[in-house]
Amino acid sequence: MNLLELLVISLGLSADAFAVAICKGLPIKKVNVKNAGTVGLYFGAFQALMPLVGYFLGIQFKDKIAAFDHWVAFVLLGFIGLQMIKESREPNPDCAEESDSLDFKTMLALSIATSIDALAVGITFACLQVNILPAISFIGFITFALSMVGVKIGNIFGTKYKSKAELMGGLILISMGIKILLEHTILA
């Protein structure tokens, strides 16, 4: 997987965290580096940790699915992408009720919820034999940066960009799934 592909997947994965970061920015009276950094750190760390966990899970059964691993990648990325697109079309009353709390319990729950899809991507990485340490570092950094920006955008603009971020993230992940499938079937 080259750097551009990794960037595209990182942007797709970080879309959920970005959307939730926008919600976290709504009720904050004055956004500063500390509160934006807290959101970015939680989301970035979990977006890096979950693919690592998925990767180690994927390695356990990689040999058993080697003949159809490209289909696994396609299905996982496609499913995650479709879920994100579906979520982008639904009204989100939770965002309007978001508190400005950045306590451990709240941020842990949000971090896990926004990074479950990254677990599946980690399984895909194992199937594709991706060099995992640079990949998770890149994903974590991109998510950290976009989450910080999301807090500020939410504080300034409200929820205007939340559904667009989820829609774009879903389309990106579906596109990457199709690309992987084509590379291993038609273009092989």
Nearest to 36 by CA among 46, 44, 25, 47: 25
pLDDT tens-digit profile of 77-136?
788 778 878 877 876 655 655 666 788 988 998 898 888 888 888 988 998 889 999 999
Task: Give kind and range of the element (H or E) at residue 76.
Answer: helix 69-89
Query: Could you give the C-alpha distances from 79 to 92, 93, 118, 133, in angstroms and in order?
Result: 20, 24, 12, 25
> Among residues of the chain, what percentage have pLDDT more than 70?
90
Do residues 155 and 51 make contact, with C-beta atoms less than 8 angstroms apart? no
DSSP state of 188: -
What pLDDT, on a 0 to 100 scale, did the predictor assign at position 151? 93
pTM across the whole model? 0.76
Q: What are the structure tokens assigned to 52, written together?
A: 């690592």
Residue 164 pLDDT exceeds 60:
yes
As a whole number of angstroms, the distance between CA 71 and CA 137 comes to 26
